[in-house]
Chains A and B, each alone.
Chain A
C-alpha cells in the first residue's frame, strides 16, 4: 500500500518505477505462462481418461502417450518460469 501511495503521489524515482514494473511484469509472465499449460494438461488428461474408459485394453498405450504429452506441455510452463526468474532475480 505504501508503494501505491508513493506511486500516486509521484514520489518514486525512475529506477524504482522500473524495478516495480519489472517485478510486476515477471509476475504476470509466470502467471500467464502457467495458464496455458494448465488448460492443455486438463484437456489432454480429460481426453486420455475418455479414451481409457472407451477402450480399457489400450490404457497402457494411452497412458504412455499421456505422460509424454504432459511433459511436453509442462515445458511451456517451465519456459515461463525461467523467464520469470531471469527477469526478477538475474
Chain B
C-alpha cells in the first residue's frame, strides 16, 4: 500500500467547515427557541415550555460537541477523526441519556414534550441549514452572502 495515500498518515488541516455549520445551526436554534417554547407551552403547558427549552439545549449541545470533536481530531489524523466520530456518537448519546435520566422525575419536565422537541428540532434545524450549505470546492461550509461577493452574483445575471 502506498504510504502517501494511507489515511493513517494523513490529516485534514485548514478550514473547519463543520464548526461554521454547527455555529450557524446553533444561531438559528437560539433564534427560534422562544417560538418553540411558546408552541410547547400552548400544547403541554408550562412544563412543556421548560421541557422544550431543555430539549433544544440538548440538541444544540449535541451539534456543537460533534463539530468540536471532528474539528479537533481532523488536523491530527484522519484515522483519529474516524475513531473520535464513532466514539463521539456513543459519548453524545450517553450524555443525552444521562441528561434525560437526571431530570425524568423532576416536576417541571414533561417527557413527551422533551422527546418530541428533541426529534423535531434536530431534524428541523438540519433541513433548514441545508438551504445554506455550499457543496462546492470554493466554499466549504456555508454559501457566501451575496453582499460579500457582488461580482459573482452580478455575473450570473444576464
Contacts and interface: CB of A to CB of B under 8 A. Distances in A.
B38 interface: no
B104 interface: yes
Contacts, number: 126
Chain B: number of interface residues, binned into ranges: 35 or more
Contacts of A72: 126
B119 to A, nearest CB: 6
Contact of B111 (A61, A74, A78, A85): A85
A77 B72 CA distance: 24
B50 interface: no
Interface of A: 34, 37-38, 41-42, 45-46, 49-50, 52-54, 56-61, 63-68, 70-72, 74-75, 77-79, 81-82, 85-86, 89-90
Interface of B: 5-7, 10, 12, 14-18, 21-22, 62-63, 66-67, 70, 74, 78-79, 81-82, 85-86, 89-90, 92-93, 96-97, 100, 104, 111-112, 114-116, 118-119, 122-123, 126, 129-130, 133-137, 140-141
